[in-house]
Amino acid sequence: MKYEFSPSLQILAEDIAERIFPHVIIERVKCFRSYGSSTKHTIARCHALGKLLQEAMEVKPFYALEFLGERFNKMPEEEKVKVMIHELMHIPETFGGGFKNHNVVNDKNVEECYKAYKYCVENNKKIDWFKLRKQKKKFIF
């Protein structure tokens, strides 16, 4: 496997997090493209430094988002944004090193977040998608 930091994906992650996921401490999230994976169906992965390692190393939580270049690079731009949203959605509001699982990070919610993100870009707005979801507010996107 070969990993390379991706400035373009980092910028996209920063923009999405700023607009719809304000709990994400973007300075503690880094985006990489990887090459050489033998997986057949994976497009991207969210990696975290778990609690025990955080304690042992005396460091704060950290997340790495990996985008498998052979598959991800061929996708249309809209799908790339949705994949980025999917991976950022795995980061819980506590930003503690854990993960939101696929009962929250699913196609329906990713699509809703994508619409929210587009709305925020078009209207120069910021929201907290998870907070709105918990309040069960009607979305206007």
What pLDDT digit, counting tens, does each position of 54-70 carry? 999 999 999 999 999 99
Token output for 95: 């930003």
State how far the Cα of 24 lies from the Cα of 36, in Å rounded to an integer.
29
pLDDT of residue 51: 87
Instruction: Evaluate whether residue 106 is within a structural domain.
Output: yes
Considering Cα of 91, then 96, then 30, then 38, what sign does the dihedral take?
negative
Q: State how many domains the chain has.
A: 1
Q: Which domain does 40 fall in, by range?
A: 2-134
Q: Please say if the pLDDT value at position 73 is more than 90.
A: yes
| 107-120 residue pLDDT tens | 999 999 999 999 99
Instruction: Evaluate whether residue 81 is within a structural domain.
Output: yes
Instruction: Evaluate whether residue 140 is within a structural domain.
Output: no
Region label for 136, one of left (φ > 0), alpha (ψ between -120 and 50) or beta (otherwise): left
The answer to whether residues 128 and 20 touch, using CB atoms and an 8 Å cutoff, is yes
